[in-house]
Amino acid sequence: LVHSVSIMHKSLDNMPKDENWQALTRNSTNLRVYIMAFDVESDDMLRILKPSIPLERIHFDSYVTCVSGAVVDLISRQYDKFLTHFILMNDVIDMSAFPDLSDNRNEDPLVLLAWRCTRLSLLAVHGYTVWAHNLIAIARLRGSDLKVLEVTEESIDFDQGELADQ
């Protein structure tokens, strides 16, 4: 459990290093980690997420901060072998201004997550923009292995060209 308040009062300098995680997983090959992060800045998450963590589930929940596409991309690259659950929640007040993770629409981090993380069985997104064509791509990439795909209706957005075709 990582919370922004605890990070303010305790330094991340004492976090286990990657070598520590390597030693632990060498001796505990079945170990899997579940991280819940509440209002944690993306820069702090980048310091916490060590490559050797056997991350199986991650749950981001925020009221103030937003997860960056860079964090989602890092997770999809580092934890492609173990990740089964990815939950992304942003409890924003202004429902007309959901953050969009994709700086470049050709490489949406959620689509890359679905492509790289072959064990992904649950993807939930609330309070972030998910483009309709990317939602379809995610569903096609994971197929029936994706047991839960949960996206708030208000999060789904369409290209104007798509709307004209509908």
**pLDDT tens, residue by residue, 81-102:** 999 999 999 986 665 678 888 8
What is the structure's pLDDT at 7?
A: 76
Strand, coil or helix: 88: strand
Hey, CA dihedral for 97, 101, 107, 112, is it positive or negative? negative
Q: How many CA atoms lie within 13 A of 75 on its CB side?
A: 30
pLDDT digits (tens, 9 = 90+) for 120-163: 999 999 999 999 999 999 999 999 999 999 999 888 988 766 55
CA distances, 127 to each of 89, 92, 156 (Å): 6, 6, 10
Q: Where exactly are the structural domains of the chain?
A: 32-156
CB atoms within 10 A of CB 117: 23
Element at 62 (helix H, strand E): strand 55-62
Task: Report whether pLDDT(49) > 70.
Answer: yes
What is the pTM (predicted TM-score) of this model? Answer: 0.90
